[in-house]
Amino acid sequence: MAAKNPSRPAHEGAGLITREQQDAWYALLFAHASVTDRIDRVLQEQHGLSFSAVEILCRLRDDDAPSQSLRSLADQLVSVSSTRASRLVQELVDAGYLQRGADQCDGRKSLISLTAAGRRYSENVARTLENAILQYLIEPLDDQDIAAMERIWDKLRAAQTGNGANAEPS
């Protein structure tokens, strides 16, 4: 659970980054932890699912392809490792929300897709997720804050993919 009132770290660090840069790092960590913790609690209370399980359902629901491999799905997830994704997929299969099928091109791979019940359920869960995002992330911020977050995300994503830290938004 995220700290309710984090304090500024007392250490000086290695001196490679400024105090302001260090504060920005801790602000990012706190914002992520506090918002995802609140959203996770809402999802647990209303659906008995973790944010990670909901992310899997929503990724499959929003994907244009009717099914995808576990590896492809795991590569899209931001909240969970591929090992944990495999366990969550199995739990969602056991619950009747997902199904496994054979890949017609490669019999060694199984494809994951939503069942009819899973599609209906994922729509309900997605509404809960979006309402929680609105409440805990969007409503406390103004349009400039959201735009700044988008710019930061674009720069970090570009740096991660090797397209340069100052790339223009996509």
Structural domains in the chain, CATH included, are 19-161 (1.10.10.10)
Q: Do 59 and 125 contact (CB within 8 A), yes or no?
A: no
Confidence of residue 3 (pLDDT cuts 50, 70, 90): low
Instruction: Find where tokens 């840069």 sit.
Output: 21
DSSP state of 140: T
Confidence of residue 71 (pLDDT cuts 50, 70, 90): confident
Kindly state the average pLDDT of the residues 84-106: 90
Provide the token pair at 134. 């609105």
Please give the model's pTM, rounded to 2 decimal places.
0.79
**What percentage of the chain exceeds 90 in pLDDT?**
56
Give residue 8's pLDDT: 62
Helix (H/G/I), strand (E/B), else coil: 142: coil
Give Cα separations from 23 to 7, 31, 35, 157, 167 (angstroms): 10, 12, 18, 21, 24
Give residue 10's pLDDT: 62
